[in-house]
Amino acid sequence: MNMETMSLVKSAREGEWPGRCRDCEVRGTSICSSLSLAGLDDLSRIGRIVHVQPGQTLLWEGDEADLVGNVLDGILKISNMTGDGREQIVGLLFPSDFLGRPFGDMQQQSVTALTAATVCVFRRGAFDTFSGTHDGVERALLDRTLQELDRARRWMLLLGRMSAVERVASLVIELIERVGAPDGGAVILPLSRQQMADLLGLTIETVSRSMTKFERAGLIELPGGRRIALRDEQALRRIAAG
């Protein structure tokens, strides 16, 4: 574990703990939903709340995997880098998602906050022990991991075989599904153009040009900033399907 992460963990105070696990905002949707009340109490004994600033990295690719947790609030990215610094975002973490690599010795990806975020973290060793002694946790992890694997593989199709406009259309659809209310009103995208580019394996300019193309074709509106409104969802979906 590096110094920065260390200080993050230390900075967590009992005082910041928002009640116990029983009152946790993601209790019903995170892996914790597999636990009994007694299990929740056991868990709250080994967990700590950590607040991270946008841009702060919780886990580093190549480091020892000694931290896992649940996202309570905010959005984080999971990313890989080439030797010379090119970055690919390989996953996003939203509230109630599980974070980190249980049962492994090395972190294969970095995890960095995109927005201010709150994470409930556990030391890997303590969590591994906990999951071994509480039924349902490993099964809940398995379900999530299988789902993540499906998602990652679907994204591989996008990265390997889709054109720029197809990629951008896919991302817009997915982001609006995942964060926004598609009521025709404008939604604020949670990602900058650079982050979208890092997810799509494109450059910022190509993402921007694709968005403009959609706007000129009447598929979306871009009222400025990161706001976006869907005008023709079906057409966008057709493009995204490839």
Partner DNA sequence: CGCGTTATTGATTAGTCTCAATTCAGGTGG
Partner DNA sequence: CCACCTGAATTGAGACTAATCAATAACGCG
Which residues contribute to the site for DNA (CB under 7 A)? 163-165, 192-194, 201-209, 211-212, 222, 224-226
Q: Is 62 in the site for a second copy (CB under 8 A)?
A: no
What is d(CA 94, CA 165) in angstroms, rounded to the nearest whole number? 25
Structure tokens at 175: 């982001």
Q: Is 149 in the site for a second copy (CB under 8 A)?
A: yes
Q: Which is nearer to a second copy, 90 or 186 (CB)?
A: 90
Q: Is 205 in the site for a second copy (CB under 8 A)?
A: no
Residue 235 interacts, among a second copy, DNA, none and using kind-specific CB cut-offs from 5 to 8 Å, with none
Cβ at position 165, least distance to DNA in Å: 6
Q: Is 150 in the site for a second copy (CB under 8 A)?
A: yes
Cβ partners under 8 Å of residue 50, min gap 6: 8, 9, 11, 12, 58, 69, 118, 119, 120, 121
One residue of 43, 59, 162, 175 binding a second copy per CB under 8 A:
162
Structure tokens at 57: 């990295």
Residue 31 interacts, among DNA, a second copy, none and using kind-specific CB cut-offs from 5 to 8 Å, with none
Count, residues near a second copy per rule CB under 8 A? 43
Phi, psi of 48 (to 5 degrees): -140, 150
Residue 83 interacts, among DNA, a second copy, none and using kind-specific CB cut-offs from 5 to 8 Å, with a second copy
Least Cα distance to 78 among 93, 63, 66 occurs for: 93
Structure tokens at 217: 């074709």
Cβ at position 24, least distance to DNA in Å: 29
What is d(CA 211, CA 217) in angstroms, rounded to the nearest whole number? 10
Residue 204 interacts, among DNA, a second copy, none and using kind-specific CB cut-offs from 5 to 8 Å, with DNA
Burial class (CB in 10 A: 0-12, 13-18, 19+), 208: middle
C-beta separation of 95 from 74 below 8 A: yes
In the block, residue with structure tokens 């609006």: 176
Q: Which is nearer to DNA, 146 or 157 (CB)?
A: 157
Structure tokens at 184: 């025709």
Measured in residues, the chain has a length of 242
**3-class DSSP state for residue 81?**
strand
One residue of 133, 156, 184, 212 binding a second copy per CB under 8 A:
156
Cβ at position 215, least distance to DNA in Å: 8
Q: Which is nearer to DNA, 43 or 197 (CB)?
A: 197
Look up residue 95 and give its DSSP letter: T
Query: Of residues 95-124, which lie at the interface with a second copy (CB under 8 A)?
Result: 101-104, 108-109
* Contact residues: a second copy, CB under 8 A: 78, 80-84, 86-88, 90-91, 101-104, 108-109, 138-139, 141-143, 145-150, 152-157, 159-162, 166, 200-201, 241-242
